[in-house]
Each structure stands twice: as structure tokens, then as C-alpha cells.
Structure 1
Amino acid sequence: MTTVPSASQWGSPTTSRRALLIHGLNSSSHTFHRVASTLAAKGYLVVAPNLLGHALRKPGVDFQVQTLADDLLPYLQAAEYDIVIGHSMGGLVVLSLLKYLPKTKPTSVVLIDTALEITAEQMVDWRVKFSGDVRTNPTAEDYMALNPLWTRGDAIWKVLGTQIGRSTNSDDHIDGNVPWSFSHLFADKPAAAALTVLIEDPRFNGALKPETVAKLKDVRAVIVPNASHWIQYEFPEVIVEEALRNIEE
């Protein structure tokens, strides 16, 4: 029997359609609660694993993205997925799993605002940004004040994702993936897979630049107006629409 890491699940186990959702740094499986509920209502069994070092899970032997991906291999060995979605660092985990996806079965792959290339200077800023959540312990009310498109549920899951993870997660994963360069992994995409990258509104000066995605071949890039890095909270319907577009057209 294949043993799989801890996860959240939505939908009926008897359905033939499946979706795999992978969260990002300082987060947990429930970051996808709105996307997952929508997909479940459309007839999908949705599985969202908790990454190593997150949601009370102990870290692996190192903090490399590939190590996080290898930990999730039992999911791909146990089932084939119609949809695979990753947010932020979870998108890098998805990229690291592309080589394990079926070669002929159509798979819809969606990356949500995943930073593909980060310079050493940007990584210094990242450390400050991500560790700030751990040091200052923002409340749900704080997040809602800063993010007017979030629901209270979104804010609560963000707080819990940070608090039940390891306090050094952000520093460890940033330091463990130097240089932060992952664009080359797109070459592992099976021909049968369709890949879409969602990008936050460029006005917010996010880490993923449209020009970076534009250089990639056979990748659909979608800028989401008015969206921050947390597109799954603010515009979950866009994620679902793009995921279904790839396999229902």
C-alpha cells in the first residue's frame, strides 16, 4: 500500500476526475479552500498535500524544492490527475514534478504567481518580507485590512498556515534554493500537458514578471487585473476557469 503525506481533501472519492493542489511557503493545504470547493462542486476529487516543514510536518533532509517534490511522488504513483495547480513555491514543486506526469494523458497544469528567477539582491528583500509574517504575527483582522478582497476565512487560513509551520521556514527554503532559478524546468513538460501561468497585477511589482513568462515556449500567460500574489483568495474563479480551459476546450 502506498503511504502518502498529510493532506486535505474535497469531493467524492468515487469520481473519476482528480485535481492535485500544492500550496506555497509559510502556508498550508487550506490556502486552496475556495478553489478546491469549486472544483469539488464540478465533480472533482481534490487533494491538497501539506509540504514538508509545513502544517506540523517535519522538514526533510534539506530544503530544496526538488526534495519537497520528491516527497509528494506517492500521490502521482497512486493516481493520475486531470488538473495540477501550484501557488508560489508550490508552483516550483509542480515544475519539479512535470517529468513524472503522464506522457499521453492530457493534464492541465496551472502555476499561480510563481517566482521563477530571483536575483541575490531580491532574495535579501524576500527574507525580510517572508520572515516578517513570523516575527510580527499578523492577525486575521490585520490581513483583512491589508487585503480587502479576502474573506475572513482566507485570512484565518493564512494566519494558521504561518503559525503551524516552522518559524525558520522562509529563511531555510530561501537559503536552500540558491541560485533561485527554475525556468529550465519547463522543458520537462510532457507534450500532452497544457501549462498556464497566472501573474498578479504588474502594478503591484510582484516577483514574477510578465516578460519572464513571455520567453517560455508553449506556455499560456494570464495577467489577473487587481490581483495580488494571493490570486486563490481574491479571484479563485479565474484559477478554476483556466484549469478547466486546458482540458475542456
Structure 2
Amino acid sequence: MTTVPSASQWGSPTASRRALLIHGLNSSSHTFHRYLVVAPNLLGHALRKPGIDFQVQTLADDLLPYLQAAEYDIIIGHSLGALVVLSLLKYLPESKPTSVVLIDPSLEITAEQMVDCRARLSNDTRTNRAAEDYMTLNPLWTREDAIWRVLGIQIGRSTNSDDHIDGNVPWTFSHLFANKPSAAVLTVLIEDTRFNGALKLQTVAKIKDIRAVIVPNASHWIQYEFPEVIVEEALRNIEE
């Protein structure tokens, strides 16, 4: 009998389409809560995995039972979760079309950039921001988005949040695109170029057979701000 990690499940288990949603660091499955409103036909699982080991390959190994238990039409990952999805590409079926959407992943980070990344992560986990603070910092968020962010930070605070940096050195994941099965269609959604989108686009632009989409006015949290874009791209890939 296959054992899988705990997860949130939305929709009917007998639905004709299945989607696997993997959240990022300092978050929870409810980072995808808006899909219930925006696209009731995009149903499936969103993972809640608050364990203490944030090494990408370890997380991918932990989630592999999901791919062994069922085939999915759509697989979506945000941030660190997108890197986990990349690590799982080699396990996708060769012939079944799979729509894969990566939400604003940081594919390559230099040693110098690691220092800044660590500082920002430390600030996020140590600053006791309230939901109202997140709403002020992120005008496109709803109060519910902000509340789930606060709870995600609280989950991350109970672990060593530096694990996901120290356990993934060097931070380089672009090579994993080579594991994409021919039947899979892969889209990378990137935050606005006014933020870090331009740098991320430079990395993605070098990869063949990948659709890269800059989402105007979006920050790293595209699933909060423009969830309809994610849904459109996911469905586009399985309808074409």
C-alpha cells in the first residue's frame, strides 16, 4: 500500500481531470485557495509539507508517491515548490500529456545572491507582521491571502529556514528541464520586470521548448495576485 504525505484535497475524487499543486517555502497548501473561486474545474491536491528538511531532492522523493498513485493532467509548483516539480519531471509519463506550470522559480542563484536571499528570508521569519501589514505591502492581496501568509511564516518559523539554502548548494536547477518528457508542456510564469522578473527571464530564455510568460504588475506571489493567469496557462496546455 502506498503512503503519501498529508495534503489538502479539493473537488471530487472522481473528477475527469486531476491537478497536483505544490507550494513553496514558508507557506501551506492554502496558498492556492483562490483556485476554488477562479477555476472550479481545476481540482486536485495541494501539498502541505512543513518538514524540517528543505533539500529539493528530498522533498521530491517525499512527494513521488503522489505520481506513483495517480496520473495528473496539471502539475503546478510555486517558488521552491517549482524546483521540486522540476525534480519530479523525470517521473512523469512519457506519452500522457501533462501541463506543467512553474510559478516564479529562482533557477540559478550565485554565492553573492545567496547572501541577500538569506537576509531577506531571515527578515521574513523574524518580523512579526500582521495580516494588515502584508496587505499594505501587497495592495493586490486580499485579507485572506495575508492571513495565509502569516500562518505560513509561523509554520516556517518552527523549522530551520536556512536549510533550504544550505541543503541546495550550489543553487542551480536549470539542467533539470532536460528531464521533461516529450508529452509534457511546460510554462514558466515570472514576476514583473520591475522586480526580479528580468533576471529570471534571462535564465529561462536560454532553455528550449519552454513557454516563458512575464505577468505584468505581479510580484513573486502570482497565485495571490493573478491566479487566473496560472489557470489559463495550465488549461491552455492541455487544450491545445
TM-score by length of 2: 0.96
Supply the distance in 1 between the matched residues of 2:159 and 2:197 (Cα, whole angstroms).
Answer: 23
User: Which residue number corresponds to residue 26 of structure 1?
Assistant: 26
What is the CA RMSD across the aligned residues, in angstroms? 1.4
Give, in angstroms, the shift of residue 38 of structure 1: 3.4
CA spacing shift, 1:3–1:36, aligned 2, 3 Å = farther
Identity within the alignment, %: 81
User: Which residue number corresponds to residue 136 of structure 1?
Assistant: 127
Per-residue CA distance 1:106-138 (angstroms, 9 max, x = gap): 000000000000001111101111121211121
Structure 1 residue 49 corresponds to structure 2 residue 47: yes
Superposed counterparts of 1:1-249, under 5 Å: 1-39=1-39, 41-42=40-41, 44-51=42-49, 54=50, 58-60=51-53, 63-206=54-197, 209-249=200-240
CA spacing shift, 1:192–1:209, aligned 2, 3 Å = same
When structure 1 is superposed on structure 2, of 74-83 and 161-170 the one drifting more is 161-170
Question: What amino acid sits opposite 1:194 in the alignment?
Answer: V
Supply the distance in 1 between the matched residues of 2:225 and 2:181 (Cα, whole angstroms).
Answer: 30
Contact 2:190 2:215 in 1 (8 A): yes
Task: For residue 197 of structure 1, give the secondary structure of its aligned residue in structure 2.
Answer: strand
Supply the distance in 1 between the matched residues of 2:239 and 2:46 (Cα, whole angstroms).
Answer: 22
Task: For residue 162 of structure 1, give the secondary structure of its aligned residue in structure 2.
Answer: helix
Contact 2:197 2:214 in 1 (8 A): no
Give, in angstroms, the shift of residue 83 of structure 1: 0.2
Give, in angstroms, the shift of residue 236 of structure 1: 0.2
Per-residue CA distance 1:18-73 (angstroms, 9 max, x = gap): 0000000111111111135534x12x43101123xx1xxx334xx32010010001
Supply the distance in 2 between the matched residues of 1:87 and 1:237 (Cα, whole angstroms).
Answer: 15
* Poorly superposed stretches of 4+, deviation over 6 Å: none
When structure 1 is superposed on structure 2, of 183-192 and 158-167 the one drifting more is 158-167
Contact 1:69 1:96 in 2 (8 A): yes
Per-residue CA distance 1:161-218 (angstroms, 9 max, x = gap): 1102344443111111010000000000000000000000011135852111110000
For structure 1, the residue ranges without an aligned partner over 5 or more in a row are: none
Give, in angstroms, the shift of residue 3 of structure 1: 1.4
Number of equivalenced pairs: 240
CA spacing shift, 1:99–1:15, aligned 2, 3 Å = same
Task: For residue 67 of structure 1, give the secondary structure of its aligned residue in structure 2.
Answer: helix
Task: For residue 177 of structure 1, give the secondary structure of its aligned residue in structure 2.
Answer: coil
Per-residue CA distance 1:58-99 (angstroms, 9 max, x = gap): 334xx3201001000111111000000000000000000000
Contact 1:19 1:82 in 2 (8 A): yes
Per-residue CA distance 1:222-242 (angstroms, 9 max, x = gap): 000000000000000000000
Contact 2:90 2:181 in 1 (8 A): yes
Supply the distance in 2 between the matched residues of 1:181 and 1:116 (Cα, whole angstroms).
Answer: 6
TM-score by length of 1: 0.93
Contact 1:115 1:207 in 2 (8 A): no
Supply the distance in 1 between the matched residues of 2:19 and 2:10 (Cα, whole angstroms).
Answer: 10
Task: For residue 103 of structure 1, give the secondary structure of its aligned residue in structure 2.
Answer: coil
Supply the distance in 1 between the matched residues of 2:173 and 2:149 (Cα, whole angstroms).
Answer: 26
Contact 2:94 2:182 in 1 (8 A): yes
Supply the distance in 2 between the matched residues of 1:125 and 1:168 (Cα, whole angstroms).
Answer: 20
Supply the distance in 2 between the matched residues of 1:73 and 1:111 (Cα, whole angstroms).
Answer: 17
For structure 2, the residue ranges without an aligned partner over 5 or more in a row are: none
CA spacing shift, 1:154–1:73, aligned 2, 3 Å = same
